[in-house]
Structure 1
């Protein structure tokens, strides 16, 4: 799998030998937990080197910078933004205090102290305390010793020493203390901090970034309760995972289990309100928690988002939203600090309310059936599929398994029905490697491939015409030049008709610049030239990763990802009239769950929406049926109990079978942050839950 956590010490300095050498009696799971520090350190250094945040010091804790993927950079950037936001709030709310403290629990190789030097007030007003396994902090001290830029920032009373008589204080500076203590032993932690001179009754921020989740539940509960009783005026900032129930959550949990560092708290505290109650029940007075999608909408200025988009090409929106919907930032408060609100929106962002759509009641359950396990060529995402005959489905492009590795795929895939079973596949090497294109069956019998990309900085510059021969089963591929305005991806192309003439409605999509969203265009189907077509009404807001399908000579456009970075819940109909098209917004009841990266079909006057990504983990869409006349929405839960693997319904394609009663879902999945790439194992068959 792509993106697995590296082995201990990979890419890092090894001043004191490997973890196993240093801790021969340590339980294997503890060693594996410590190895997550190594991956995190390399990722932070890579993110900083790309300019996502300013940190000139993290590089000293690795032997060399190993460049991570844009998705990893975005994930670590939002984490740094959230933690920094909480730190700055704490410093602002304690500005009048003669002394304050930050206590980082499970600090790893984080460069917190060095980043904060010179930012936290007058010398001596703030002290940074860091605690981690003795093995980890000994390695950290030696790396500090080796870097003059780090040593020069320490306001030491004496040169850094190895250990005091307790064996816990590893760095003893005027405003920085580094201690080696196992957090699982609260008594030892309390004694070590007390012996090192920590002041218990001054304002203190306790920080735990992806730490408590690895601990035994009783031990992590002891830490939360100990902090509440020991620090009368304090805040506890917690960043970690939640919501293990959906497909992404299952992949996440399985990943950490495979590394022998299981997430011990995520199943007991699976939702945000469970985490909130966890702290309130341990005598914290106030607690606020939000997932990272909400934090991004509420607390990250649009100007900063635009700056980040300019740093490097990025096109993994689904994976980023899913990652952020499974991580949270929590701030619990006691004493004087409980009187101040936390996770406050920045100045000028007070009106940026996070969109919350209540979960719609389910109208029932739809059971999915896997097709033959012999079908292996559809493990991919970012592809497109359509019927080329009643018993043949063609699939083009995508990212998935090829030649034993994950890559852009270069095959045309045919799935054939024989004796009422979709069980045979044929592939031909005729594809140019593009993905996120559109695939449009035309009245002429041809199939038009428009747009797509080879990378986020390299769009496809010509169209393809696919012709399927019913006699031989062969596919002919013909290149066709198009105007530059049509070089886009994550768009849709739908055949429509007006006054007896056929056109192709091309809507939305992305261009090379991340923030560039494209408008609608009409093409003549005969030569793909731009057409002047009269249209009245308000067009849908520009977006990408929406879905479009034909209806009554026009088209129905649903969902999509807006320039704001939030999904759309709109449905807009392009309706043909006597002399012009009309854009008509459909109001739905109840409001439709916003989504993107979904698929859609129309049967009669019913719009079928399948899957997609929404920015609330508990609200991941299943199957929605929308009455295009009344706007009534019926939601159905998809039951994947018959599958032995998590079913991800984004990045997929779906085909409505000729009987109009069943849908075949092909492919789907994505790169799940650093947890590996998940690909749906095989196509599935879904019975539509309405009478025909």
Structure 2
């Protein structure tokens, strides 16, 4: 199937050339990758599709480069094929702009692209290379490709992240620099597991990354069925299409595998290490949750907002020695959904206390929640009636449990489009010993 997937590059390149030849888009370099013997004029509808695709990708890359400014920037084109984006960027960018462009594809594709660039005077000139500067074009050579100032053409299988990491490291990649990863109709041909691992790898290796993908969606209408059949007949089926068939699921896919991470800080070494997700028993991605230490080897997180901004009510315990998560389920009345709250654990590790937060319910707003961790029972208590002269809003505050009997609350407040931002005045001393029974 790999050969068939590589063949989509040839068809796509001819289609782009035909679109450019008819004046839809300005690309003076695409002709360097198309021989007259293989050229055939495409239909107008294909021209329109490739024109829209080219304009969209160019606009996104331009926006990204403008956003990062003059800092050293990287773009990694995953499954680049005969794409000419770098050459167009190189011509238009200012001399002092620091950009390094990496193109990754199968070694066979990279070898053929290397030969095209070697034969082209205009492309070689832009890269500042002569024939003596080119690496081997042998498909069995690990050095197949091109390495020049600001541009690296490297071979590797995107399904093997260790190999991709190795070739990028050899090419001088900076893992810390602002990086855009571009997958333009490429990872859609990868099996779902491999493409997901690529997304996770990108989020792990590049702390300042943007992932841009352009691929097919909507497989279940009439057009979608014809589209799926077409690619299946070519021997290059769209392997991730059924699991991520629409725009919302595509967004959710990237949020779940760029956001749902866990890091552990070594206080002595001052080094963060990412904890790998090796189990399906793992809390969903969230923010505005609360975390508190339990004993010396556990962490408890509660609530928060998920990727579609729904308040959560679940409780998870992380064991630092076993590197594993386990959901804490309570009996009887359930915990109210909440976010922007605080949490504490009593010194005997018996009670977990959740203070404040908010949710989207019109009536049942969080007050104080006491969870008996031994009996797995939950008790929700409403806050007392507010003093009109000293109202408190337990949202985005900080709290500290003192002698297992009272909570000291610092800061917090809220904001509204009409009255602006309001902060809690002073320190709040809240007696809770009578709630711990």
Normalised to the residue count of structure 2, the TM-score between the two structures is 0.56
Hey, what's the Cα distance between the residues in 1 that align with 2:259 and 2:127? 33
Shift of 1:265: 0.6
SS, match of residue 161 in structure 1: coil
Residue correspondence of structure 1 range 238-317 to structure 2 within 5 A: 238-284=213-259
Any unmatched runs of 5+ in structure 2? 261-437
Check the 8 A contact 2:70/2:98 in 1, yes or no: no
Deviations 1:491-520 (A, max 9, x none): xxxxxxxxxxxxxxxxxxxxxxxxxxxxxx
Match of 1:107 among 74, 80, 88: 80
RMSD after superposition: 1.8
1:176 aligns with 2:148: no
1:44 aligns with 2:16: yes
For 1:222, the equivalent position in structure 2 comes to: 197
Write out the 4+ residue segments of structure 1 that deviate beyond 6 Å after TM superposition. Answer: 163-166
SS, match of residue 183 in structure 2: strand
SS, match of residue 92 in structure 2: coil
1:211 aligns with 2:186: yes
Shift of 1:123: 5.1
Deviations 1:443-501 (A, max 9, x none): xxxxxxxxxxxxxxxxxxxxxxxxxxxxxxxxxxxxxxxxxxxxxxxxxxxxxxxxxxx
For 2:25, the equivalent position in structure 1 comes to: 53
Match of 2:91 among 118, 125, 132: 118
**CA distance 1:234–1:166, shift in 2 (3 Å):** farther
Hey, what's the Cα distance between the residues in 1 that align with 2:133 and 2:170? 19
Check the 8 A contact 2:70/2:97 in 1, yes or no: no
Hey, what's the Cα distance between the residues in 2 that align with 1:259 and 1:118? 36
Deviations 1:644-671 (A, max 9, x none): xxxxxxxxxxxxxxxxxxxxxxxxxxxx
1:193 aligns with 2:168: yes
Hey, what's the Cα distance between the residues in 1 that align with 2:137 and 2:97? 23
Hey, what's the Cα distance between the residues in 1 that align with 2:94 and 2:178? 14
For this pair of structures, how many residues does the alignment match?
A: 256
**CA distance 1:279–1:253, shift in 2 (3 Å):** same
Hey, what's the Cα distance between the residues in 2 that align with 1:248 and 1:95? 41
Any unmatched runs of 5+ in structure 1? 1-28, 286-692
SS, match of residue 117 in structure 1: helix
SS, match of residue 118 in structure 1: helix
**CA distance 1:257–1:244, shift in 2 (3 Å):** same
**CA distance 1:235–1:86, shift in 2 (3 Å):** same
**CA distance 1:258–1:163, shift in 2 (3 Å):** closer
SS, match of residue 32 in structure 1: helix
For 1:476, the equivalent position in structure 2 comes to: none
**CA distance 1:126–1:116, shift in 2 (3 Å):** same
Hey, what's the Cα distance between the residues in 2 that align with 1:72 and 1:168? 36
SS, match of residue 140 in structure 1: helix
Hey, what's the Cα distance between the residues in 1 that align with 2:112 and 2:64? 29
Normalised to the residue count of structure 1, the TM-score between the two structures is 0.36
Check the 8 A contact 1:155/1:175 in 2, yes or no: no
1:66 aligns with 2:40: yes
Check the 8 A contact 1:204/1:235 in 2, yes or no: yes
For 2:316, the equivalent position in structure 1 comes to: none
Shift of 1:163: 6.4
1:159 aligns with 2:117: no
Deviations 1:260-303 (A, max 9, x none): 11110110011111111110111249xxxxxxxxxxxxxxxxxx
Hey, what's the Cα distance between the residues in 2 that align with 1:45 and 1:163? 24
For 2:65, the equivalent position in structure 1 comes to: 91
SS, match of residue 93 in structure 2: coil
Shift of 1:132: 0.3
Hey, what's the Cα distance between the residues in 1 that align with 2:202 and 2:259? 9
Check the 8 A contact 1:137/1:180 in 2, yes or no: yes
**CA distance 1:139–1:272, shift in 2 (3 Å):** same
More helix by share: 2
1:30 aligns with 2:8: no
Hey, what's the Cα distance between the residues in 1 that align with 2:230 and 2:129? 41
Shift of 1:169: 4.9
Check the 8 A contact 1:206/1:234 in 2, yes or no: yes
Higher RCO (Cα < 8 Å, 6 or more apart): 1
For 1:290, the equivalent position in structure 2 comes to: none
**CA distance 1:273–1:42, shift in 2 (3 Å):** same
Hey, what's the Cα distance between the residues in 2 that align with 1:168 and 1:279? 32
**CA distance 1:68–1:178, shift in 2 (3 Å):** same
For 2:328, the equivalent position in structure 1 comes to: none
Hey, what's the Cα distance between the residues in 2 that align with 1:182 and 1:203? 23
